[in-house]
Amino acid sequence: MELRIQYSLQLHFLDSFEYSILLLQISNFYILVLQIDNYSIYQYNKDDESLLFVFLPQSLIGHRGVTVKLRGLENYSKYLIKINDEEIIKSGSYLMNRGLDIRLSGDYSSEIIKVNRI
């Protein structure tokens, strides 16, 4: 039983990883935040999907989160954002003008945030 669970988790990760690599190869690329408050954030868009790669190499005492404005979305479309096992729905206009609040903690923290048009 243990081997089957581990195997299925590996397949799920591999499928997700392979899909992410495919999206990265044929997408639009944006540098959203480069070393502001020690965060680095990159966005890849393809059709109705986006991936945000968020990196916090070093957590400083009293560090804050960062508000990031996405790019390349459609103003009047709604988007489903998956971040930390939470799902949020916002408009493209909101995400590009107001932005998304992101906060990581701990050294070498990272997060992949999925954004899908619905």
Q: Which tens digit of pLDDT belongs to each residue from 7-19? A: 333 334 444 555 5
Per DSSP, the three-state class of 5 is: helix
Asked if residues 65 and 102 have their Cβ atoms less than 8 Å apart, the reply is yes
pLDDT(4) > 70 = no
Mean pLDDT (the chain, rounded): 77
Residues 34-43: tens digit of each pLDDT = 556 688 888 8
Residues 65-94: tens digit of each pLDDT = 889 999 999 999 999 999 888 899 999 999
Asked if residues 117 and 81 have their Cβ atoms less than 8 Å apart, the reply is no
pTM: 0.71
Q: How far is CA 113 from CA 14, 39, 42, 43, 76, in A?
A: 17, 14, 10, 9, 21
